[in-house]
Structure 1
């Protein structure tokens, strides 16, 4: 291997892409949980306002907190997901560039020897 051989760097980039993909998947799970929290908070607030669940102020405040917490979590994770996707794209572009610099050789088919 020479100093100009980018295979180690390509391996490092692929490991980084894998780590970023895991982060992106975690963000997607949190985004789903945030949407569920928002929907649950809205439903609970509507039930409280309509008097179907009782008229507890604590329930109303809890549902509002659930909606607001879901919105904050959703915004944060969407932002992180966008940044992670951009980092993945940049790493993939760098990996492609490094692969294109490698001097690839054709491997000819060798005749099989029967023993």
Structure 2
């Protein structure tokens, strides 16, 4: 069997790290949107409870749905972000191990060629 070139595996790992980083960034955006939804829903619910602006039962139900939806989305994306961060750490550790296993030499140690 021919062993894979470590540089090919390192390239694959780097591509995976980039894909995971995109997923993590998307999770961060959803987390922010979830926090905004929770805050907006809570504010609307408070306005409804206090009877300001003549809002009714529909606004109260909508605000409760907004808060609950925001909480569910927040929890899901925080969990996904944690898992993604762990996967990135594992991939970076594997990449470092592969780089460490390559027999690298310092350019200054290379024999000089005279032209």
Give 1:55 shift.
Answer: 4.0
Match runs of 1:34-45 below 5 Å: 34-45=34-45
Residue 10 of structure 1: aligned partner: 10
Residue 84 of structure 1: aligned partner: 84
Match runs of 1:44-55 below 5 Å: 44-55=44-55
Output the TM-score relative to the length of structure 1.
0.90
Residue 62 of structure 1: aligned partner: 62
1:66-104 CA distance string (max 9 Å, x none):
000000000000000000000000000000000000000
Give 1:3 shift.
Answer: 2.7
4+ residue runs over 6 A deviation: none
**Structure 2, unaligned runs of 5 or more:** none
Output the TM-score relative to the length of structure 2.
0.90
What secondary structure does 2:14 align onto? helix
**Structure 1, unaligned runs of 5 or more:** none
Q: How much is the aligned-residue C-alpha RMSD, in angstroms?
A: 1.8
Distance (Å, rounded) in 2 between the aligned partners of 1:63 and 1:106 = 64
Greater share of helix: 2
Residue 100 of structure 2: aligned partner: 100
**Contact 1:31/1:78 (<8 A) preserved:** yes
